Amino acid sequence: MKNHLLNLIKIVVTVAIIAFLFMRVDLQVMAQHLARANVALLLAALALYFVAIALSVVKWQILVRAQNIPAAFGDLLVYYFVGLFFGNLLPSNVGGDVVRAYGLVRASGFARAEAAAISVLVDRLMGLVAWFGAAVVMAILATATLTRGSELEQIEIATMVVAALFLFAAALMFSRRISQRVKRIFDFAPLRPLQPIAQRVYHALQVYRQSYRALALNVALSAGIVVVTTLVWYLVARALGESIPIFYFFLFNPLLVFVLLIPISFNGLGTKEIAVVFFFGLVGMSGEVAFSMSLIFHLIVVLMSLPGGVMWWRERALAPSAPRPEPWGQRGN
């Protein structure tokens, strides 16, 4: 009941924000921008977003291999697409990370479940390290270079505080001393049955203490994803006829991701749109173009999520006739 209420609140917030934006922009002008959009540039943006997905799979594969889990790029790509589908399209509390972790668990065997799940968790954490780092740098640059930069001061402060807390929490998670203390909790009789699972989780985490190269590569690829998604935003803007310098897209993209960490709307819809209108309004972009750009970007994300739904449905449809379940992506091999 509580989960349904939370989803309902998010949907109401999303609808309210979108309705507010529709009242603040000239819908006729917005429709004209959408009608004149350059299709070739939009297709290029769609292709670039696939590049970002491919990079995401490569950086995850690096962490998976550090755990000595054999997983082909093609299989991980399937798990990732299915995770995107659940994470971006369904009104569910089952996150995309949980779904892709489950796909990897099925492929590697439930005996490696903790290692598979930790690979997804660390992949997400290292990605956030790159995004937070970019957000902090860009927040400082924004306040220093924009004539209305004072309006971003609170966002800059919040970004730095959250980034510092996040890095501190991540350091604690990898700390051997903290892990040893947490392990003592499972010495109590009620929690003792969970001790083997806790041990496997601990060992899976400690793998990355000796895999600095894997972590560094993951963060570097995450930085590459920051660049690629920024270019997607830029291409969408160019498709709408906007000529704002690309520097501002690199300035605002990490800040947009930071804002979207606040889970107050359905899949970020609404929150993203009002943040885009605000940020790009600081550099002279009209509300109509900014709103259109954000909606098109969201559409690109949705379109790239659809193959995951097809892959998931195919697996579900084939499962009853199979003698035993096979991992996504390995049917027909």
Of 252-266, 269-283, 310-324, the poorest mean pLDDT is in: 310-324
| Structural domain count of the chain | 1
Q: Establish if 326 belongs to a structural domain.
A: no
d(CA 137, CA 156): 9
Name residue 6's amino acid. Answer: L
pLDDT band per the 50, 70, 90 thresholds, residue 325: very low
Q: What average pLDDT does range 298-312 have in this prediction?
A: 90
pLDDT band per the 50, 70, 90 thresholds, residue 3: low
- 187-242 pLDDT, tens digit per residue, is 666 766 776 777 777 777 778 877 888 999 999 999 999 999 999 999 999 999 99
What pLDDT score does 74 carry? 92
321: pLDDT strictly greater than 50? no
Q: What average pLDDT does range 83-95 have in this prediction?
A: 72
Q: Establish if 288 belongs to a structural domain.
A: yes
- 138-193 pLDDT, tens digit per residue, is 878 877 777 666 666 777 777 778 778 877 777 776 676 776 777 677 766 676 67
d(CA 64, CA 57): 10
Q: Establish if 27 belongs to a structural domain.
A: no
pLDDT, the chain, mean: 81
Q: Establish if 25 belongs to a structural domain.
A: no
What pLDDT score does 191 carry? 67
pTM of this structure = 0.82
Task: Please check whether residue 104 is in contact with residue 119, taking contact to mean a CB–CB distance below 8 angstroms.
Answer: yes
322: pLDDT strictly greater than 60? no
pLDDT band per the 50, 70, 90 thresholds, residue 96: confident
Residues 6+ apart with CB under 8 A from 117: 101, 105, 204
Q: Establish if 294 belongs to a structural domain.
A: yes
Host domain of residue 248: 39-321
Q: Establish if 316 belongs to a structural domain.
A: yes
What pLDDT score does 323 carry? 45
Q: Establish if 20 belongs to a structural domain.
A: no
Q: Establish if 330 belongs to a structural domain.
A: no
Dump the DSSP string for 188-246.
SGGGGGGHHHHHHHHHHHHHGGG-HHHHHHHHHHHHHHHHHHHHHHHHHHHHTT----H
| Local structure of 91: helix, strand or coil | coil
